[in-house]
Amino acid sequence: MYLARVTGRVVATQRYEGLAGVALQWIQPLDEDGKPMGEALVACSVVSSGPGDMVTFVDGREAALACPTTFVPVDAAIVGFVEQAVSKGVDLARVAGGA
Amino acid sequence: MLIGKVIGSVVATQKDEKLEGRKLLVVQVHNHVNKPLDQYVVAVDSVQAGPGDMVLYATGSSARQTTLTEGRPCDAVVMAVVDSWDLGGDNVYEKWA
């Protein structure tokens, strides 16, 4: 599981059945200082997250377990809406930007 | 998932029989600002994507979680055709543009 900042939204009406109603959002993974880490990717979101929010996400096969229907081809899913994330004494959720 | 553009397809009559009947698409990876990267993947199509479509694809074991790829040697599957996306409200890609 990693921290990430939601940076955008993807619209895709033609999608694998079972993914109906699942939001697709661009996320930028963050490191332990809240700075961007690695490449942005698209994750399913089951929490009401939107651009600018800090979240936790799961990647790999387990991501599908966060979706309403679990037998779906999903390898990244937002599973948490972060209010506070203290790392090295700093609350990263208060660090502006981050992506 | 990652985004990419379908730039072609693969025909391999001699292949693992578990992959028979699956359409193999060549997808060039694009990044979040829609810049084509020097990377591609061959993915099984599960949503009738065609050449020129911008698509989302899943990789790893998740790629085997469709009726088409379950229990088959597949590590990448196209699972959505992208209509549009925006970053912080700025449109980056629109299929109709």
Q: Does A15 touch chain B (CB under 8 A)?
A: yes
Q: Which CATH number covers residue A90?
A: 2.40.50.220
Q: Which amino acid is at A58?
A: V
Per CB-CB distance under 8 Å, the chain B contacts of A19 are: 79-80
Q: Tell me: the pLDDT tens digits for A68-93?
A: 999 999 999 999 999 999 999 999 98
C-alpha span between A48 and A25 (Å, rounded) = 11
Q: Any bridge partners for residue B86, and if so which?
A: A9, B91
Q: Tell me: the pLDDT tens digits for A40-71?
A: 999 999 889 999 999 999 999 999 999 999 99
Q: Judge contact between A52 and A26, C-beta under 8 A.
A: no
The phi, psi pair for B2, rounded to 5°, reads -120, 165
**A34 pLDDT tier (thresholds 50, 70, 90):** very high
Q: Which amino acid is at A5?
A: R
Domains of chain B plus CATH, in order, are 2-94 (2.40.50.220)
The total number of structural domains in chain A stands at: 1
Q: Does A51 touch chain B (CB under 8 A)?
A: yes
Q: Any bridge partners for residue B54, and if so which?
A: B5
The CA-based dihedral angle spanning residues B81, A7, B64, A14, taken in that order and rounded to the nearest 10 degrees: -20
Q: Where are the alpha helices (DSSP H) in B4-79?
A: none
Which domain does A29 fall in, by range? 2-95
pTM of the predicted model, to two decimals? Answer: 0.94
Per-block average pLDDT, block size 10, for chain B (97 residues)? 98 96 97 98 97 98 97 98 96 95
| Cβ contacts from A onto B, under 8 A | 103
Nearest-CA residue of chain B relative to A10? B85
Which pair of tokens denotes residue A26?
A: 């661009």
Q: Does A72 touch chain B (CB under 8 A)?
A: yes
Per CB-CB distance under 8 Å, the chain B contacts of A24 are: 1, 56, 80
Nearest-CA residue of chain A relative to B48? A14
